[in-house]
């Protein structure tokens, strides 16, 4: 089937973040005009993109960032609640604000970045907020596209680099529970490519995609893989989730906590592509293996 017309301009909310910046790079490389909207636009740093200030909690800034756009991407995410930066404010009300202003300006194509495992019935406030955000967006724009990536990896990420830092500092590394939680890490460049494809793929409007990498690993296996990459062989110590929850709660008062309750909640459940779900392949993107990218890390 033929692709939809390429959008004339795309506004990317969260354009200064790890994923958002990669999306901006990908679109710019495809000669698509991009407006990168972020609370701190000076952090976008992608040549060829227009950087503007926008905050999902500020309706006027959202509306202004969308002026003249043909499509939009919402890649804003939050792991730590601080003050008025809450899961409800960002993942729910913020996502709805983007959809509402798209609708008001006649912008039909919206890609909403969520996360694998989004579930309205989850015990995790973070996971529930992701699912609620999806529902609010689709209520306003039923033909929006929902992308649910698994944990992201790529040079400069906060996942593999965090694991490498822990392994490099300690001869013993604690596991989440027994370390059996399954993850399907996805390359940030593949998610960016999926966004670009979703903006043009004829089947993408109204569809939901689970985005995972080509391999599924236990958390223990991921630690062993990263440890081998940096030439370490740490001891792996099982640690009950209740202990992790307590540590994350205590750490949440820090400006940059090393572990958050949201991250602990995510590690309680498998983070993998759902059986029968639409995937990267349905958007024409071939998944990149973690082992292929690890050598490029500065770890």
Tens digits of per-residue pLDDT, 176-212? Answer: 999 999 999 999 999 999 999 999 999 999 999 999 9
- The answer as to whether 198 is a domain residue is yes
* Coil, strand or helix at 299: coil
Calpha distance 156→136 (Å, rounded): 32
H-type alpha helices, 10-159: 18-29, 59-66, 87, 95-104, 125-140
- The answer as to whether 64 is a domain residue is yes
Range of the domain at 101: 10-153+185-213+271-287
- The answer as to whether 197 is a domain residue is yes
pTM to 2 decimal places: 0.94
Tens digits of per-residue pLDDT, 14-24? Answer: 999 999 999 99
Asked if 36 and 51 count as a contact pair (C-beta separation under 8 A), the reply is: yes
CATH number of the domain residue 130 falls in: 3.40.50.720
- The answer as to whether 261 is a domain residue is no
Percentage of residues of the chain with pLDDT beyond 90 = 85
Number of structural domains in the chain: 1
Tens digits of per-residue pLDDT, 161-176? Answer: 999 999 999 999 999 9
**What value does the mean pLDDT of the chain take?**
94
- The answer as to whether 293 is a domain residue is no
**Of 253 and 105, which is predicted with more confidence?**
105
Distances (CA, A) of 71 to 94, 135, 208: 17, 19, 17
- The answer as to whether 237 is a domain residue is no
- The answer as to whether 238 is a domain residue is no
Residue 106 in tokens = 């006649």
Given this model, what pLDDT does residue 2 score?
52
| Alpha-carbon torsion, ordered 53, 191, 184, 164, to 10 deg | -60
Given this model, what pLDDT does residue 1 score?
46
């Amino acid at each position: 089937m033929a692709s939809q017309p390429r959008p004339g301009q795309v506004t990317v909310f969260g354009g200064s973040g790890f994923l958002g910046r990669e999306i901006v790079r990908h679109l710019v490389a495809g000669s698509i005009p991009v407006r990168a909207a972020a609370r701190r636009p000076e952090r976008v740093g992608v040549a060829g993109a227009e950087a503007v200030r926008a905050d999902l909690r500020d309706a006027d800034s959202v509306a202004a960032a969308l002026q003249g756009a043909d499509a939009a991407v919402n890649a804003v995410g939050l792991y730590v609640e601080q003050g008025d930066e809450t899961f409800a404010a960002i993942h729910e009300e913020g996502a709805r604000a983007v959809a509402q202003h798209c609708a008001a300006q006649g912008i039909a194509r919206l890609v909403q970045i969520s996360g694998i495992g989004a579930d309205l019935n989850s015990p995790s406030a973070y996971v529930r907020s992701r699912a609620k955000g999806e529902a609010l967006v689709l209520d306003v724009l039923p033909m929006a596209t929902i992308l649910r990536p698994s944990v992201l990896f790529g040079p400069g990420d906060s996942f593999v680099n965090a694991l490498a830092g822990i392994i490099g500092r300690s001869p013993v590394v604690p596991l989440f529970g027994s370390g059996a939680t399954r993850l399907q890490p996805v390359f940030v460049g593949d998610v960016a490519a999926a966004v670009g494809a979703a903006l043009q793929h004829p089947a993408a409007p109204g569809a939901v995609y689970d985005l995972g990498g080509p391999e599924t690993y236990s958390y223990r296996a991921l630690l062993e893989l990263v440890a081998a990459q940096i030439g370490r062989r740490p001891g792996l110590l099982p640690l009950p989730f209740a202990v992790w929850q307590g540590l994350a709660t205590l750490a949440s008062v820090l400006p940059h906590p090393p572990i958050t309750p949201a991250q602990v909640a995510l590690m309680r459940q498998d983070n993998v592509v759902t059986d029968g779900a639409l995937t990267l392949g349905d958007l024409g993107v071939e998944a990149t293996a973690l082992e292929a990218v690890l050598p490029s890390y500065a770890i």
